């Protein structure tokens, strides 16, 4: 059980209630009583803090007991009512996750407006990232490619849009946090702007917008895609470039994963080509991937410039990787 006194975030108005087992028992009990578990008397017997991003959101897992029966729920409490829109979006995705599309996402259960909380089913399973980084099999990267291709082709209409200009603006905000390499980061940002001018028009598809290996897990043989908070309409190359940039990041952080990351890059791109949805502009896709990989690497240099463990080494190497991505004529080698 979490001691709520150890977790304080005044920007998240629902967090005190979210950490209180008695309060959450009252709020979550009706969700289970009306669901497939049926039984009455449900109460929270365990609260686990999964991930806390101060000032933005907090993810939690609840263990529930109902007259000897056990169930679990996953939840996020936000600083505002962002969760209401995510609940609607997840509902649309969950309706399209049948076998023909192969996109499995945690099913939304409820949105609790009084504490800004989105509640979904809890998915048991294990991350596919570890086996991917081990580099002993093509399967993890192939499953990830198939999953993101299925998302791109599922036909869900998303309200928000994210394109190369939004990507550049977001990247520019992050590179302000690279104090040791600001001049070089700005130079690389200018090169990304030059790339933008030559990017061809593309059709819009549903995109994840925060896709990397840790977002995919295995649950009893099913592949589950996590965290669609930022899902919107955009260029599928955005997800591909971001994924490749995170492979670069991983091997810079942990050299033992280099072989696995290199293998995953090749397998991921090959598998995606086999499964990409109708309407993808295959001719311009490598150029668009290169752009998004470069901007993602540049953005990540800003992200890791704020992390004490990595700030002295990783950002400058990410800038090197961004330079290399912009220099390559093709994404594949």
- CATH of the domain spanning 126-327: 3.90.1200.10
Find how far residue 39's CA is from the centre of its chain.
34
Query: What one-character-per-residue DSSP string does 118-160 give?
Result: EEEEPPP-EESHHHHHHTS-SHHHHHHHHHHHHHHTS----S-
243 vs 271: CA distance, rounded Å: 14
CATH architecture for residues 4-121: 2-Layer Sandwich (3.30)
Which strands form 69-78's sheet, in the order they lie side by side? 43-53, 57-66, 69-78, 117-121, 108-112
Give the model's pLDDT for residue 176.
84
pTM of structure: 0.92
- What three-state secondary structure class fits 242? helix
Instruction: Give the span between the Cα atoms of 115 and 282, in whole angstroms.
Output: 45
Residue 293 CB coordination number (10 Å): 28
* Helix ranges, the chain (H): 15-18, 21-33, 82-95, 129-134, 139-152, 164-174, 182-197, 236-253, 258-275, 285-304, 314-327
Instruction: Please give the chain's pLDDT, 333 residues, in tens.
Output: 445 557 789 999 999 999 999 999 999 999 988 765 566 789 999 999 999 999 999 999 999 998 778 999 999 999 999 999 999 999 998 877 644 456 689 999 999 999 999 999 999 999 999 999 999 999 999 999 999 999 999 889 888 999 999 999 999 999 987 776 688 999 999 999 999 988 988 889 999 999 999 999 999 888 999 999 999 999 999 999 999 999 999 999 999 999 999 999 999 999 999 998 888 988 999 999 999 999 999 999 999 999 999 999 999 999 999 999 999 743 333
Give me the residues paired with residue 309 across strands: none
9, 25, 47, 65 from 21: Cα distances, Å: 18, 6, 7, 12
The Cα-based distances of 135 to 143, 146, 214, 224, 272 in angstroms read 14, 18, 15, 20, 18
Question: pLDDT value at position 96?
Answer: 72
Dihedral-angle region of residue 152 (phi above 0 means left; psi in -120 to 50 means alpha; beta otherwise)? alpha
Which residues have CB under 8 Å from 117's CB, separation 6+? 14, 18, 27, 75, 76, 77, 78, 83, 111
**Residue 17: per-residue pLDDT:** 96
Contact 293, 244 (CB under 8 A): yes
Side-chain half-sphere of 203: how many Cα atoms within 13 Å?
Answer: 13
Residues of the chain with CATH 3.30.200: 4-121
CATH 3.90.1200.10 residue ranges for the chain: 126-327
20: left (phi over 0), alpha (psi -120 to 50) or beta: beta
φ and ψ at 118, to 5 degrees? Answer: -100, 130
């Amino acid at each position: 059980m979490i001691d709520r006194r150890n977790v304080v975030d005044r920007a998240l108005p629902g967090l005190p209630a979210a950490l209180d087992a008695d309060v959450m028992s009252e709020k979550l009990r009706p969700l289970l009583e009306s669901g497939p578990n049926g039984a009455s008397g449900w109460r929270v017997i365990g609260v686990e803090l999964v991930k806390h991003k101060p000032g933005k959101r907090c993810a939690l897992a609840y263990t529930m007991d109902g007259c000897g029966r056990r169930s679990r729920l996953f939840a996020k409490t936000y600083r505002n009512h962002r969760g209401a829109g995510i609940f609607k979006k997840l509902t649309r995705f969950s309706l399209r996750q049948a076998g023909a599309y192969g996109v499995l996402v945690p099913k939304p259960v409820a949105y609790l407006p009084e504490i800004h909380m989105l509640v979904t089913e809890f998915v048991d399973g294990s991350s596919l990232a570890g086996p991917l980084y081990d580099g002993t099999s093509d399967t993890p990267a192939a499953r990830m490619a198939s999953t993101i291709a299925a998302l791109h082709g599922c036909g869900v209409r998303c309200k928000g849009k994210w394109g190369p200009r939004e990507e550049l603006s977001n990247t520019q905000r992050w590179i302000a946090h690279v104090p040791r390499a600001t001049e070089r980061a700005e130079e690389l940002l200018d090169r990304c702007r030059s790339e933008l001018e030559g990017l061809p028009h593309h059709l819009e598809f549903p995109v994840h917008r925060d896709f990397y290996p840790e977002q995919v897990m295995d649950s009893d043989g099913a592949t589950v895609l996590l965290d669609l908070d930022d899902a919107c309409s955009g260029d599928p190359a955005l997800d591909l470039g971001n994924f490749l940039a995170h492979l670069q990041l991983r091997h810079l952080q942990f050299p033992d994963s280099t072989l696995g990351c290199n293998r995953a890059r090749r397998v991921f791109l090959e598998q995606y080509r086999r499964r990409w949805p109708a309407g993808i502009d295959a001719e311009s896709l490598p150029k668009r991937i290169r752009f998004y990989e470069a901007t993602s690497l540049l953005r990540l240099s800003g992200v890791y410039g704020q992390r004490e463990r990595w700030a002295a080494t990783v950002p400058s190497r990410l800038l090197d990787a961004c330079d290399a991505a912009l220099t390559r004529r093709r994404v594949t080698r």
